[in-house]
Amino acid sequence: MEAQYYYFTGENAYALREELRVWKEQFIRKHGAENFLQMDASDVTLRTLLDEVGVAPFIAQKRLVVLRGTPSLDAEEVEKLAKLLHPDCVLVIADSAPDKRTSAYKALKKFATVKEYEPLKGKQLLQWMTRMAASYQSTFSQGAVEHLVELAGEDQDVLSREVEKLSLHAVGRSISKEDIHLLFPFTREQEVWRLTQLLAEGRGDQALIYAKTLLQGGEDPFSLWNLLLWMLRTLVTVTAAVQAGVRQPAAIASQYKVPFPSARNMLPLAQRIDLSALASLVYWAAATDRELKTGGYKASKEAPEELVALIDGFVLRCSRLERK
């Protein structure tokens, strides 16, 4: 810490917070807790801040003051703060999401030593997750780390919690995709996405078990039926794209107005599909949906048994769509 006046900022709140934690631990170990102070920017004025950064450390070489948030100061006050820092005091102002329009932000970028913390992407993010798992004496099986990012997104706060949980669960072995599916808190959309993924991969038996698990877990049968119909419409669209010679998910998403994840998910099945089996499924699903809406099937929220059987039938028919 050669400089005295720091501004930690950037969208990666996790990395910024971890950096502060390391600074705090190392500083207290070397200079003592009595020379460390942390304050909230909303609670300070220039006067109170100067009172804290203008004093010498107590029987130590350095004093560290951490200010969480960007203070409400004008450019002149930000510059004054830099000039009146005690030679043995280090001031760190940390704000992952500052208002960049303020004079304080602009002045801090000019007068302080700025450290930017940007979100990790791609290979760097995967390497960080792998290192984190290793810190718990764990590893990821092939494809599992990428799969976790697909489900959880790229927020390091979320990923750190998931990696820790998975590492503690998979003691003595690699973290697998199955571990992720068991422990990851899927949203309703992600749960249905998992069902469609199983169908697209031709894993009909597992898809049937998973559909039953969703229903037993409280999924509304009518909602699940409608989502399966949406999946079928998407599959028909992706299949039409494949038949037209369009075989890249991005191109299908752009030309046929299908969400990219859905296009990528459905593409393997669309490339292997039996067109007559698909036509038969579409005809059956349309007729069945009409019967559900006109009273041909006696299904209600109180008595959904017939609809549950129809969902099973839908899944089984989907599992027979591949060319033999």
Q: What is the pLDDT of residue 3?
A: 58
User: Could you tell me the maximum CA-CA distance found in the chain, to the nearest angstrom?
Assistant: 86
Least confident residue range of 34-48, 97-111, 184-198: 184-198
Total domains, the chain? 3
SS3 266: helix
Q: What is the DSSP string of 300-320?
A: -SS--HHHHHHHHHHHHHHTT
Indicate whether 155 and 61 sit together in one domain. no
In 32-74, which ranges are continuous DSSP H helix?
46-53
Whether 141 maps to a domain, the answer reads yes
pLDDT band at 180; cut points 50, 70, 90: confident
Average pLDDT over residues 270-280: 92
Q: Do 59 and 95 have their domain in common?
A: yes
Mean pLDDT, rounded, for 67-80: 90
In the prediction, which pLDDT does 44 show?
86
Q: Which of the 8 DSSP states describes residue 88? A: T
Kindly state whether residues 112 and 126 are assigned to the same domain.
no
Mark whether 104 and 168 lie in a shared domain: no
Residues 126, 128, 130, CA angle at the centre, nearest 5°? 70
Asked whether residue 57 is assigned to any structural domain, the reply reads yes
Q: Are residues 237 and 174 in the same domain?
A: no
Specify the range with the lowest mean pLDDT, choosing from 13-22, 196-205, 254-263, 276-285.
196-205
Residue 68 has pLDDT above 90, yes or no: yes
97 shares its domain with 133:
no
CATH number assigned to the domain comprising residue 135? 1.10.8.60
Cβ-in-10-Å burial (0-12, 13-18, 19+) of 25 comes to: exposed
| Per-residue tokens: 49 | 């801040």
Kindly tell me if the per-residue pLDDT of 288 is higher than 90.
yes
Q: How far is CA 292 from CA 218, 235, 296, 298, 311, in A?
A: 21, 22, 6, 7, 12
Q: Which is higher by pLDDT, 67 or 191?
A: 67
Query: What pLDDT sits at residue 245?
Result: 93
Residue 238 lies in a domain: yes
- State the Cα–Cα distance between residues 29 and 35, nearest whole angstrom: 11
Q: Read off the amino acid at residue 162.
A: E
254 phi/psi in degrees, rounded to 5:
-75, -45
Residue 195 belongs to some domain of the structure: yes
pLDDT digits (tens, 9 = 90+) for 213-258: 778 777 788 888 888 898 899 999 999 999 999 989 888 988 998 8
Mark which of 83, 116, 149 sits at the end of a domain.
116
Helix 46-53 crosses helix 75-84 at what angle (to 10 degrees)? 20
Confidence of residue 1 (pLDDT cuts 50, 70, 90): very low
Residue 309 lies in a domain: yes
Residue 66 lies in a domain: yes
Range 136-148 average pLDDT: 91
Checking if the pLDDT of 190 tops 70, the result is: no
| pLDDT of amino acid 214 | 79
Q: Quick one: average pLDDT of 198-222?
A: 81
Tell me the pLDDT tens digit for each residue of 5-57: 999 999 898 999 999 999 999 999 999 999 999 999 888 888 988 888 888 88
- Do 99 and 129 share a structural domain? no
When mean pLDDT is compared across 1-10, 112-121, 241-250, 299-308, the lowest value belongs to 1-10
Residues 163 and 241 in one domain: no
* Nearest CA-CA partner of 52 in 251, 40, 107: 40
Q: Looking at the structure, do residues 260 and 304 belong to the same domain, yes or no? A: yes
Long-range contacts of 118-121 (CB under 8 A, 24+ apart): 118/10, 118/11, 118/12, 119/11, 119/12, 119/154, 119/156, 120/12, 120/15, 120/154, 120/156, 121/154
**Out of 158-162, 272-276, 290-294, 297-301, least confident range:** 297-301
Residue 41 lies in a domain: yes
pTM as predicted: 0.59
Collapsing DSSP to helix, strand or coil, 91 comes out as: strand
pLDDT confidence of residue 302: 78
User: What is the band of 188 on the pLDDT scale with cuts at 50, 70, 90?
Assistant: low
Give how far Cα 152 sits from Cα of 156, 162, 165, 179, 192, Å.
Answer: 10, 8, 13, 14, 15
What integer pLDDT is reported at residue 60 of this predicted model?
A: 84
Buried/exposed code over 156-195 (b: 16+ C-beta within 10 A; e: otherwise)? beebeebbebbbeebeeeebbbebbeeebeeeeeebbbbb
- Mean pLDDT is lowest, of 90-94, 154-158, 281-285, for 154-158
* Whole-number pLDDT of residue 187: 64
- In terms of residue numbers, what domain contains 171? 122-183
What average pLDDT score do residues 253-278 get?
Answer: 87
Residues 11 and 32 in one domain: yes
- Among 94, 116, 138, where does a domain finish? 116
Position with higher pLDDT, 319 vs 76? 76
Same domain for 234 and 216: yes
Q: What is the distance between the alpha carbons of residues 296 and 299, in angstroms, rounded to a whole number?
A: 9
Which sign, positive or negative, has the C-alpha torsion 152, 155, 159, 161?
negative
Residue 92, domain CATH: 3.40.50.300
pLDDT band at 194 (very low <50, low <70, confident <90, very high): confident
Report the CATH number at residue 224.
1.20.272.10
Higher-confidence position of 265 and 22: 22
Q: Are residues 128 and 219 in the same domain?
A: no
Mean pLDDT score of the chain: 87
Burial 113-139 (b: 16+ CB within 10 A, else e): eebebeebeeeebbebbeebbeebebe
In a domain, 324, yes or no: no
Final residue belonging to a domain, choices 72, 101, 116: 116
